Structure 1
Amino acid sequence: MGKTLVEKIWDAHVVKRDEGYPDILYIDTHFIHEVTSPQAFDGLRKRGLPVFRPAQTIATADHNVPTLNQHLPIQETLSRYQVDMLTKNCAEFGVELYGLGHPFQGIVHVIGPELGITLPGATIVCGDSHTSTHGAFGAIAFGIGTSQVEQVLATQCLLQQPPKTMRITVDGMLGPGVSAKDIILYIIAKISAAGGTGYFIEYAGSTIRSLSMESRMTICNMSIEMGARGGLIAPDETTFEYIKGREFAPKGAGWDKALAQWNTLYSDSDAVFDAELTFDAADIEPMITYGTNPGMGIGISQFVPSTNSQELSERPSYQKALNYMGIEDDSALLGKEIDYVFIGSCTNSRMEDLRAVADFVKGRQKAPNVIAWIVPGSKQIEQQAIAEGLDQVFEAAGFQLREPGCSACLGMNEDKIPAGKYCVSTSNRNFEGRQGPNSRTFLASPLTAAAAAITGRITDVRSLLTENTYA
């Protein structure tokens, strides 16, 4: 019997396997940031252990960093302390750090791919749930807890049970205004925020194959939002073309050797998945969430499902979510006024996202009642955006281009959404208080978020598209 892509990569990295015990899994690349690493380094220090293979650990500061005036000391005490501790720990243990001021600094799941560190066939971990982003390159990538961060620092290995596998196939052409973010929000809405629990998901089909690497990263990024352990896409020419020539990608004979191995990374035709799902791209319209988990999503033209349509046991929590969001049963979201727009996060902060938004807002002006932030995923993206003149487009439209960081994806830095305010966000989570205490979040694509900023309310972006606008 053939193997799935997950099985091929997993089995190639098993150091030891004994019946009844977790596998000892070798980890190729370990990313760390300032939030989940301090206790791990303290654990090493207390046990007198070094970082076993420091060249395979890469650090950056992203969660707690401000996105304005990064040349100045961080104002928030806890944020400053965490970033300072990362700097100290990396210096002490010999770990490469792309901290504030470094030209490679940025969101951990953005810089790995853009620097050519993320490679097909690798095992990749980070103390961050959205490590699944790197799976877009045909890698097994997943988030780990702080104790596991220490385990990898000390041994370059993890104890892990082999995962179940699921294949999600999406075929057909996407309609105008529909992007990768809409695809993944649609899938999560269909199978729920728990529908992928315990699985590694392989995304396949003609729709997936037609996507750019930036779009593939968006899809794999949100695999965790359906409960999956991770998500991945088999590498192909699109993948190889993206990697070639990047800072740390293989070069010369090393490239040829790597490419030969990468071309073996696919699920065999007779491979058996534990679950299979299929969707038609033609059924997907611009999506938006209405509740407090990413599975509570609808097409932009649809109505919020009624509480009575939910399972009896789920009705209290469903009604609680609607109450928190200030939304009623069977209501439309179209036309609802909003206060903030956030375009950024490890889900949608790449050049493709910024270019799409700039193309859409050029010659337009944001609504006066909306504050619109655009936060690039890395210093390299920020500099590229400026080189292409996107900063001027954003400024003319009333959008603020800030400096790189996780920003308003989560309330761990200065970029918080005020209590009670509505934000249309391109981030990955809409939990209660995720973007700030009592803030209220609608998840959407960059285009849908940009349309809301222009009109001041939730809008079907298709109504604003022209022949010359990105779709």
Structure 2
Amino acid sequence: MSSPKTLYDKIVDEHRILSFDESSEADERLLLYIDRTVLNEYTSPQAFSGLRAAGRTPWRPAASLGVVDHVNSTNPDPGAGALDDGARRQIEYLSENGRDFGIEIFDLFDPRQGIEHVVMPELGMVLPGMVIAAGDSHSTTYGAFGVVGFGIGTSDIEHLLATQTLVYRRLKTMRVAVDGRLAPGVTAKDLIMEVIRRIGADGAAGHAVEFAGTAIEALGVEARMTVCNMAVECGARVALMAPDDKVIDYIASCPRAPSAELLAQARTEWSSLRSDPDARFNKEIALDASEVPPMVSWGTSPDQSLAITQSVPDPEDIPAARRADAVRALAYMGLAPNTPLQDIAIDRAFIGSCTNARLSDLRDAAEILKGRKVAPGVRAMISPGSSNVRRAAEAEGIDRIFIDAGFEWRRSGCSLCLAMNDDSLAPGERCASSTNRNFEGRQGIGGRTHLMSPAMVAAAAVTGKLVDVRSLAATGAL
């Protein structure tokens, strides 16, 4: 009788071609088959150049999809966005490589263009039990579907394209059990920020993290993607959730979903994709969802976060091992210890990214913005996660809510999440952001980023400062 297995180990074992050391230990080196990848214009050029130089072609071109998302402008006026020569060449080269190697590309003018981790699931290309590797660390997003998804470097992209395999080292496993119910005004973004705060930026390093529990099961599929997306910010190389009927129904609604007949056949198998009851994890963490508050980051790492009702910490109260990081973070952020977080004024507000720019995120923010206006002196932007999300929001009239409130309704792309385009913060500008990282310079040299949920960003935009979104939802008026 075989020993109990985690979901992660089951999927890895199904995709293992051979083991280099015949070990069943957590650090086993193996050759892993990869089902699919998504390519972008920023991390794929060197890989394609390597293929060309070696005279190789992709092993399975149909297993790849290319999208433009990192360097493109999101200016709503197609003729107004600025592209430097490097960005223009990256976009052109992706299209050239797609044409020469038979890979489908969603370029700037494709109606399906968008951020890779939004586009792949909404098409129905992410299916339970798959292994998906891509040149972006937030490929953990796909774990919401019961997929082993992880980011890889450029040399690995080349190897993957040429062989449809990767040399891979098996990870340790961690289970984060979240039971109970999230309170009103608290979202999946708050949940994962609290997990990161509790275990630290390296708390899951070297691990595949499985999220489980009644609170996870209660989340919608898009909310689950948010949790898996940001798991990488606590060091996780893979994030996973057992697929259920919500996942299968989501896939069934997608344009490239398997046929109804195949879905019916797959439903039983996919529903069985879960860790065995007696499976052992290397680490286990438990969390009560009802204790999670609306969160906001104060520093320059996602784990430097607190409840919005708290104050900026005093470095003297922080453990010695992390004190120097806190001192540097406060200096960069221009914050004084013990300042109430809700006293911090902002200059910019941004809703977007592969973390929080799906239709449900836009709906959450729009609920806060109805009948309200962006505060004087605040520049507010919204960049939907894909062109499909943008059109769906427009069909519901959500765009008018944002525009009437004073937000710029922009096109799809990574945008202000990482400032590789003409969207960036000026030195010293402070931004309430729905993105995933608040590193120094991430949104622009000298820019200061506070991470939070889309609804919290909307609340900050209309008040001009960091604020507890529950106070707006409770009063219904400013």
Question: Any idea what SS the aligned residue of 2:473 has?
Answer: coil
Q: Give the match for residue 213 of structure 1.
A: 221
**Structure 2: how far apart are the matches of 1:70 and 1:18?**
53
1:393 alignment counterpart? 401
Deviation readout 1:254-308 (Å, 9 max, x if unpaired): 2222223212201110100110000111211100000000000000011222211
Identity of aligned residues (%): 45
Picking from 161, 164, 172, the partner of 1:164 is 172
CA gap 1:70/1:16 in 2 versus in 1, 3 angstroms: farther
Determine the C-alpha separation between the residues in 1 that align with 2:326 and 2:459. Answer: 28
Match of 2:7 among 5, 8, 17: 5
Q: Does 1:336 align with 2:344?
A: yes
Q: In structure 2, give the amino acid aligned to 1:14.
A: R
Q: Mind listing any 5+ residue stretches in structure 2 that lack a counterpart?
A: 23-27
- Which of 241, 244, 248 does residue 240 from structure 1 map onto? 248
In structure 1, the partner of 2:34 is 27
Shift in Å, 1:466: 3.7
Residue 400 of structure 1, CA deviation: 1.2
CA distance in 2, matches of 1:160, 1:253: 34
Counterpart selection for 1:407 from 415, 426, 429: 415
Aligned structure 1 segments of 4 or more residues deviating by more than 3 angstroms: 69-74, 466-469
Does 2:448 correspond to 1:440?
yes
1:49 matched to 2:56: yes
For the 8 Å contact 1:76–1:414, the answer to whether it is kept is no
Structure 1 residues 457, 46: closer, same or farther in 2, change over 3 A? Answer: same
Partner of 1:131: 139
Matching residue of 1:222? 230
- SS of equivalent residue, structure 1 residue 88: helix
Indicate the residue corresponding to 2:332 in structure 1. Answer: 324
Secondary structure at 1:258 match in 2: helix
Gaps of 5+ in 1: none
* Aligned counterparts of 1:156 and 1:70: Cα–Cα separation in 2: 39
Partners of 1:417 and 1:396 in 2: how far apart?
A: 23
What amino acid sits opposite 2:307 in the alignment? G
- Aligned counterparts of 1:272 and 1:468: Cα–Cα separation in 2: 47
TM-score (norm 2): 0.96
Kindly state the Cα deviation for residue 369 of structure 1 after the two structures are TM-superposed: 1.2
Aligned residues: 469
Matched to 2:433, the amino acid is: S
Q: Distance in 1 between matches of 2:32 and 2:467?
A: 47
Please give the secondary structure, in 1, of the residue aligned with 2:176.
strand
Tell me the secondary structure at the aligned position of residue 169 of structure 1. strand
1:203-238 alpha-carbon deviations (Å, 9 max, x no partner):
011111000001000000001100110211100011
Contact 2:309-2:340 at 8 Å conserved across structures: yes
Equivalent residues of 1:26, 1:123 under 8 A apart: yes
How much does 1:313 deviate? 4.0
Q: Which moved more, 1:354-363 or 1:49-58?
A: 354-363
What is the distance in 2 between the residues matched to 1:249 and 1:468?
A: 40
Per-residue Cα deviation, 1:187-214 (whole angstroms, up to 9, x for no partner): 1011111101000100011111000001
Q: Secondary structure at the match of 2:205?
A: coil
Rounded Cα–Cα distance in structure 2 between residues aligned with 1:177 and 1:44: 49
Q: How far off its partner does 1:68 sit?
A: 1.3
Structure 1 vs Structure 2 CA RMSD = 1.4
Which of 179, 185, 205 is the equivalent residue of 1:177? 185
**Offset at 1:252?**
2.9
Length-normalised TM-score, structure 1: 0.97
- Please state how far the C-alpha of 1:173 moved relative to its aligned partner: 1.2
Structure 2 counterpart of 1:105, from 98, 113, 123? 113
**Cα distance in 1 for residues equivalent to 2:77 and 2:69:** 11
In structure 2, the partner of 1:381 is 389
| Matched position secondary structure for 2:332 | helix
Return the alpha-carbon distance in structure 1 between the equivalents of residues 363 and 115 of structure 2: 18
CA distance in 1, matches of 2:263, 2:291: 40
Aligned partners of 2:150 and 2:321: how far apart in 1?
31
Distance (whole Å) between structure 1 residues aligned to residue 322 and residue 394 of structure 2: 48
CA distance in 2, matches of 1:180, 1:14: 33
Aligned to 1:257: 265
CA contact (8 A) 1:170 1:281 kept: yes
1:132·1:230 contact (CA, 8 Å) conserved in 2?
Answer: yes
Q: Is the aligned partner of 1:60 residue 2:67?
A: yes
- Kindly report which structure 2 residues correspond to 1:340-351, keeping only aligned pairs within 5 A, or say none: 340-351=348-359
Measured against aligned partners, the alpha-carbon deviations of 1:168-203 in whole angstroms (never above 9, x if no partner) come to 011111112100000000110111111010001000
* 1:348-367 mapped onto 2 (5 Å cutoff): 348-367=356-375
Deviations 1:15-38 (A, max 9, x none): 111316621000001111001100
- Kept in 2, the 8 Å contact 1:70–1:100? The answer is no
Q: How far apart in 2 are the matches of 1:265 and 1:217? A: 17
Equivalent residues of 1:38, 1:86 under 8 A apart: yes
- Is 1:314 equivalent to 2:316 in the alignment? no
* 1:30-77 CA-partner distances (Å, limit 9, x unpaired): 111001100000100011000110000011000011101564485322
Q: Which amino acid aligns with 1:104?
A: R
The Cα shift of 1:12 comes to: 0.2
* Deviation (angstroms), 1:134: 0.7
Question: Which AA in structure 2 matches 1:12?
Answer: E
Contact 2:176 2:284 in 1 (8 A): yes
